[in-house]
Structure 1
């Protein structure tokens, strides 16, 4: 099977995660899409919500996006959530699958700071969704790899579906104006009506019931 993976803290999960992931699933004709919450994110501060709470919010979001699954492999590992290690574990356990690792342009720009980042190209295809205000430039260490490996979604489907790894697939997907940091600020300020545009209603109900992110 061809499986998309979207990792993140999901603190909280919102449409900025969910809608692009669904668009990727459809445009790349993926068999499955996994949401994979981090336990110890290497490039972010500690999460506000617990692992249990973040899993609960993902399960509620899944009700609106039933084609998604949740992969908790990083939550069960008491070590930083390095993507290379996670993918190696997944491939060892399920070598029959091809993995598509989804990230925003912001993560692509910072990819050279990731643990053993160049090994990713032998483990998966990288799927890049645009993020406002971010652009990869020729002075970035990732640029040569991008120039060599970049394909559109349509070209990947027609030329490289037999490849198990190595492409950087640049998606053309509608940008979503939501970020977890901004959402946490709205919640702290009690702007719940505004939050309804950013998260599934069931997730917002859970946040309110658990008094998450609120002063």
Structure 2
């Protein structure tokens, strides 16, 4: 069974994430696991919604999607979370599954900074969602098993949503209703 691993802070999860996951299913994936990362080593920790809140929002929002699941494995691993360590842990727990990474083009552009990135490139397929039109895979990665999603994606970012929340603007159209309700009730 081919399982897509969509790693992210999901700070918060938004409709763009759902669209990426839906498009990724077209690459012959049976399931998508949203791997909520409590702490990304390449991102600034300031502005992060508490990890437990991000996990709860993801679970609530994805409950109605049979092909999507939330994976909290990184909550039980040393921080910060390194993708290679998570992949190895998942592979040992689920040896029958074939894992495929789902990452943004901005992450692929920084891939050389990832811990043991060569092992990831050699052992896993990767689906890349473009952050800008006409994205092409950098030459140094073109020999590896990397596919780029070929359709326009919603121009939504978690940063934009957090800014709208700070400015008391309506962001309900950008996030699943469960996320909007959770953020509103919790005053995050």
Report the TM-score, using the length of structure 1 for normalisation: 0.81
The answer as to 2:101 corresponding to 1:101 is yes
Query: 5 Å matches for 1:130-209?
Result: 130-132=130-132, 135=135, 143-144=139-140, 146-149=141-144, 167-192=145-170, 195-209=171-185
Question: What SS does the corresponding residue of 1:74 show, helix, strand or coil?
Answer: helix
Question: What SS does the corresponding residue of 2:174 show, helix, strand or coil?
Answer: coil
**Superposed displacement of residue 103, structure 1:** 0.7
**Superposed displacement of residue 64, structure 1:** 4.6
Q: 1:37 to 1:189 in 2, by over 3 A?
A: same
**Superposed displacement of residue 133, structure 1:** 6.8
Query: 5 Å matches for 1:1-215?
Result: 1-25=1-25, 27-46=26-45, 48-132=48-132, 135=135, 143-144=139-140, 146-149=141-144, 167-192=145-170, 195-212=171-188
Task: Judge which range, 126-135 or 109-118, deviates more.
Answer: 126-135
Q: 1:88 to 1:122 in 2, by over 3 A?
A: farther
Aligned-partner Cα distance in 1 for 2:118–2:100 = 15
CA contact (8 A) 1:127 1:171 kept: yes
Aligned-partner Cα distance in 2 for 1:7–1:100 = 11
Question: What SS does the corresponding residue of 1:169 show, helix, strand or coil?
Answer: strand
**Superposed displacement of residue 134, structure 1:** 8.5
Task: Judge which range, 101-110 or 116-125, deviates more.
Answer: 116-125
Question: What SS does the corresponding residue of 2:5 show, helix, strand or coil?
Answer: strand
Structure number with the bigger relative contact order (C-alpha 8 A, sep ≥ 6) is: 2
CA contact (8 A) 1:109 1:136 kept: no
Q: Structure 1 runs of 4+ off > 4 angstroms? A: 133-137
List gaps (5 residues or longer) in structure 1: 150-166
List gaps (5 residues or longer) in structure 2: none
Question: What SS does the corresponding residue of 2:4 show, helix, strand or coil?
Answer: strand
Report the TM-score, using the length of structure 2 for normalisation: 0.92
Q: Number of aligned pairs?
A: 187
